[in-house]
Amino acid sequence: MPLKLEEVDHIAKLARLDLSAEEKARYRVQLSDILDHIAKLNELDTTGISPTANAFQGTSATRADKVHKSLSTADLLKNAPDADKNQFKVPAVFGEKK
Amino acid sequence: MKYEPVIGLEVHVELATESKIFCGCPVVDSVEAEPNIAVCPVCSAMPGTLPVVNERAVEYAMRVGMALGCKIEPVSIFARKNYFYPDLPKGYQISQFEEPLATNGEMLIETEDGEKVIRVLRAHLEEDAGKLTHVEGASLVDLNRAGVPLLEIVSQPDMHSAAEARAYAENLREILRYLGVNSGDMEKGVIRFEANTSVRPVGTEKLGIRTEVKNLNSFRSMEDAINCEIARQSKVLDEGGEVDQVTMGWDEEKGQTYVMRGKEDAHDYRYFPEPDLPPLKVDDAWRKRVRADLPELPRAKFERFLADFKLSEYDAKVLVSDRAIAEYFEETVNNGAKPKAVANWMTGELFALMNQTEVSIDEIKVTPKALAELISLVSEGKINKNTAKEVLGEIFKSGKNPQAIVEKKGLAQVSDTALISGFVSSVINAHPDEVTSYRSGKTGVANWLFGQVMREARGRANPQILREELMKQLDG
Ligand SMILES: [Zn+2]
């Protein structure tokens, strides 16, 4: 079942992607194929199987509240495309938060 | 028309652990610390890293849940909340969604109409985001705070005024401080609020359309923002309009809420279970261990202070408002001082000294033992109350023992009747006019003469004996 174009628009917006009309048309087909493929799982009979949130069913591993060494600020910023005042520098964002 | 406000609060609480929730970076002061000194591959989202849950963060969250009477769920599930923002390195926040750690609690608050129960829907663990600073044409990202453990506590929409919301929030802060899970230091942003507000015509049941005001960092701005929304929404409805379901911000300077995004821009977080973390399991043994460590909470302490120490409600409330203060009070009482006297000395002189010098109860040099001794010097008549104030000031400065100060400075109270009588005579002889006016009926002059005699005695005369001797000579 093909995705609606508006749905492609919505997903692109959530992913902060600026797509051309040609790209939208192409991804619409590709995304629809992926969804159709995954939808095959719906053919399985899952009656009596409780939903699971994780493939690991063991007990949860936790760590003690101990401090470990962090990266040096210089190392941390090594891969940053841009940095200033010991911080990552990114294009301006305004107003909206979460 | 008259409207009834309906308010629910979401409170974000930083948990005061040593290290972050999913990695070993230290939790540093997000206001004072240099940027990006507490960041590692995990909390900066380097590829291939994996989160591991901090046990203490879970225990702190359990403490809060228990203190609020929540059910601590034997299994809770971490989930990814997906959104893009530069303060969120992974592109998602690890949170809990469908299955939170704590559910269905409640809190008692005091309102104008008496006590009221506010239901708590849930409390869940999540990680904090980094901090952005906006500069000319760009934003700077500091990730020190990214990954600091947060507990989000969500109330039911059970509050009906900004004052009730504030009472709930203040109570919560007090409880968090008692539990030792949060400093309560609002200026550092360790507690943040989101207020959901709607209004409905008085007497109706159906909830109105609500707005959500985000990023409220003080009780005051939370209260103001709610009042602003109540007024704004009531006006919209009065004018025949409809309230829009929007997410808002609070402009502190203008004292106004403003629309951050409309319904059409509502986020689509696409939550799904966090594949990198197994379900969080809390067995009975763990739960019991945490419960056994819970301190007595403010409410219970208040009741006990009333019952055991016969304090006034006012004194009890002031003394339990801070756990360290309550413990100081009890220790002083345990050192043999009368509870009422301890309450008076603490809420009066001691708090005044602490306020003047901006020193907290944990830092003062006056030990509970010294305060108890000082109080007994007064009750035994060895020093009078005014001298005791002087001595307290001295202990506050030097930390010396009260008895030693009294002896060294010769402050012991004079109870020698003959000596006091002599002071009275010399004052009476020196002020014949005042004595005449007293005898002609202006009895108020006696207080002035009392002061003069006390001065003569350098403040050390036993006030009862002084009064007796003065009246004897004036009326005799
Ligand atoms: Zn880290």
Low-confidence ranges of chain B (pLDDT < 70): 264-266
pLDDT for A97 beyond 60: no
Among chain A, residues having any CB pair with chain B shorter than 8 Å are 10, 14-16, 53-71, 73, 76-77, 82, 84-98
Burial of B403 (0-12, 13-18, 19+ CB in 10 A): middle
**How many separate helices (H) and strands (E) can be counted in chain A?**
3, 3
A90 Cα to chain B: minimum distance (Å): 5
Which among A57, A63, A93 has CB closest to B132? Answer: A93
Q: Tens digits of per-residue pLDDT, A23-71?
A: 999 999 999 999 999 999 999 999 998 888 777 766 678 999 999 999 9
What pLDDT does B266 receive? Answer: 65
Residues 6+ apart with CB under 8 A from B330: none
What pLDDT does A94 receive? Answer: 61
With CB atoms and an 8 Å threshold, state whether B55 touches A63: yes
What pLDDT does B476 receive? Answer: 73
Given pLDDT bands bounded at 50, 70 and 90, which one contains residue A96?
very low
Residue range B417-475, CATH number: 1.10.10.410
State the complex-level ipTM.
0.88
User: How far is it between the farthest Cα atoms of chain A?
Assistant: 57
Please tell me the distance between residue B144's alpha carbon and the centre of ligand 1 in angstroms. Answer: 8
What pLDDT does B61 receive? Answer: 98
Which among B138, B214, B281 has CB closest to A60? Answer: B281
What pLDDT does B415 receive? Answer: 82
The domain A5-43 is classified under which CATH number: 1.10.10, 1.10.20, 3.30.420, 3.40.50? 1.10.20
What pLDDT does B1 receive? Answer: 86
**Rounded mean pLDDT of A69-83?**
95
pLDDT for A95 beyond 70: no
- Residue to test with chain A: of B36, B78, B81, B128, most A Cβ within 10 A: B36
The model's pTM:
0.84
CA-CA distances (angstroms) from residue A7 to A1, A10, A38?
Answer: 13, 5, 18
Residues 6+ apart with CB under 8 A from B206: B200
B239 Cα to chain A: minimum distance (Å): 29
Residues 6+ apart with CB under 8 A from B215: A97, B192, B194, B249, B250
Give strand ranges (E) for A1-98.
62-63, 83-84, 87-91
Phi, psi of A45 (to 5 degrees): -85, 115
Please list the residue range(s) of chain B that carry CATH number 1.10.10.410.
417-475
